[in-house]
Amino acid sequence: SSAVPHEALESFQQHLARSTRILALLGAGLSASSGLPTFRGAGGLWRTHDAVQLATPEAFGRDPGLVWQFYSYRRHMALNAKPNPAHHALAELARKKEGFLALSQNVDGLSPRAHHPAAQLKLLHGSLFDVKCSDFFCKYVERNNYTDPIVPALALPTDEADPASRQHHRELDISDDSVAIPELTYAHLPKCPACNKGLLRPGVVWFGEQLPMDVLDSVDDFMNSPDDIDLILVIGTSAKVYPAAGYVDMARAKGARVAIVNMDKNHVPAGGLYDQDWFFEGDAAQIVPELLK
Ligand code: BJW
Ligand code: ZN
């Protein structure tokens, strides 16, 4: 059974078949059906904290222990999640079309794990599995660090009171505020091996921070090519965070038609909806594979 209206599917697939230069802007909704929560709306609360508020240099400065507990939890969840059919379909499109570039705002590592060709995947907001020194003057960076937990103090608590779970070492869900977590300070947290003093921090892009320079450069190269852009797919993102959201209008200005996949039928992209656009309502994990079939 198809979740996509037949006429829209047909006109989209006709356009896709003719398209050579294609962008995709990916967001948290792409990974929702892999079990990872989004930022805004339901699931955007971690304990009592708004996830967006924890993703800031100010939060890390104030309470690095809390921010590490948030990111350590998300690293653990992401490692235990699997890429879904949409991640796989996008990776497949990249293998079929050399001129397809995916711009992912996600830090969960699921597109790389779906074997999306690295040259055709730009991680706009970094990765949970990059770790870097928080000291401004130290340039230490570690890529693909999958150690979980990254330091023993960040291990998830297990339910010791329950005999059944002691046996299974069942981890407690610390996104739930009723589960107690320890207060962690500098001594418990991962330190930089280069300067021996800075705290390590997740290699993600927080509010007010610059996106990775090499990533910005490759997006610019794609946008500034003299050739038109045929299509931009906007999948599972509220498209409210810049500069990422601005790429939709930039692509449109280069001739791209816009195809939106979002669970929320009231979703409106940054620049508004145009006659030339497609809007596919529903779960990306189901719709994207149908669109790209
Ligand atoms: C489904 C679904 C299903 C659910 N299927 N769909 C211009 C104007 C105004 C402000 C600015 C501007 N330019 C810059 C700014 C400031 C700021 C900004 O954009 N603020 C806005 C909020 C107004 N931007 C920045 O600060 C950026 N930096 C910057 O601009 O630097 C400039 C600079 C220059 C020179 C020197 C120094 C600085 C950095 C932005 C970094 C964003 N970081 C985060 C955290 C990353 C780490 C982490 O993961 O913890 O990135 S914030 C968070 O939002 C995360 C996400 O990648 C990002 C986008 O969220 P996303 O993916 O769209 O998720 P949601 O939850 O919002 O939406 C999910 C969608 O899916 C919804 O629509 C659902 O309906 C849908 N959905 N389930 C399909 N199954
Ligand atoms: Zn350092």
Is 39's C-beta closer than 6 angstroms to any atom of ligand 1? Answer: yes
Which of 184, 204, 224 lies at the terminal end of a domain, its last residue? 204
Q: What is the pLDDT of residue 170?
A: 85
Which of 204, 233, 250 lies at the terminal end of a domain, its last residue? 204
Structure tokens given for 42: 């339901």
Whether residues 70 and 7 fall in one domain: no
**Ligand 1 atom 62, closest CA:** 27
Q: What number of other Cβ atoms are within 10 A of residue 289's Cβ?
A: 17
Is the dihedral angle over the CA atoms 214, 217, 222, 225 positive or is it negative? negative
Tell whether 109 is in a known binding site: no
Q: What is the pLDDT of residue 164?
A: 63
ipTM of the shown complex: 0.96
Q: What is the pLDDT of residue 3?
A: 79
Ligand 1 atom closest to the Cα of residue 108 is 49
Whether residues 14 and 75 fall in one domain: no
The residue range of the domain holding 198 is 37-80+127-204
- pLDDT, tens digit, for every residue of 14-41? 999 999 999 999 999 999 999 999 999 8
Ligand 2 center to residue 39 CA distance, Å? 29
Q: Are 253 and 114 in contact (CB under 8 A)?
A: no
Q: What number of other Cβ atoms are within 10 A of residue 276's Cβ?
A: 12
**Ligand 1 atom 72, closest CA:** 238
Please state, rounded to an integer, the average pLDDT across all residues of the chain. Answer: 95
Mutate to test the pocket of ligand 1, among 31, 36, 38, 124 (most ligand atoms within 8 A of CB): 38
Whether residues 113 and 256 fall in one domain: yes
pLDDT above 70 for 161: no
Whether residues 111 and 135 fall in one domain: no
Q: The CATH number of the domain where 121 resides is what?
A: 3.40.50.1220
Which residue, 114, 105, 131, 104, is CA-closest to 39? 105
Whether residues 23 and 107 fall in one domain: yes
Is 286's C-beta closer than 6 angstroms to any atom of ligand 1? Answer: no
Ligand 2 center to residue 134 CA distance, Å? 7
Catalytic residues: 125
**Ligand 1 atom 23, closest CA:** 241
Q: What is the pLDDT of residue 231?
A: 98
- Count up the domains in the chain and report the number: 2
Ligand lying closest to the C-alpha of residue 142? 2
Which of 189, 204, 219 lies at the terminal end of a domain, its last residue? 204
Whether residues 195 and 259 fall in one domain: no
**Ligand 1 atom 63, closest CA:** 237
- pLDDT, tens digit, for every residue of 116-140? 999 999 999 999 999 999 999 999 9
Is 208's C-beta closer than 6 angstroms to any atom of ligand 1? Answer: yes
Whether residues 30 and 16 fall in one domain: yes
Whether residues 148 and 271 fall in one domain: no
Give the pLDDT mean for 230-257. Answer: 97
Ligand 1 center to residue 206 CA distance, Å? 9
Whether residues 270 and 138 fall in one domain: no
Only one residue has tokens 């699997």, namely 82
Whether residues 242 and 283 fall in one domain: yes
Q: What is the pLDDT of residue 287?
A: 98
Q: The CATH number of the domain where 50 resides is what?
A: 3.30.1600.10
pLDDT category of residue 283 using cuts at 50, 70 and 90: very high
Q: What number of other Cβ atoms are within 10 A of residue 154's Cβ?
A: 23
Whether residues 71 and 111 fall in one domain: no
Ligand 2 center to residue 132 CA distance, Å? 8
pLDDT category of residue 273 using cuts at 50, 70 and 90: confident
Q: What is the pLDDT of residue 271?
A: 77
Q: How far apart are CA 48 and CA 64, in angstroms?
A: 16
Whether residues 139 and 165 fall in one domain: yes
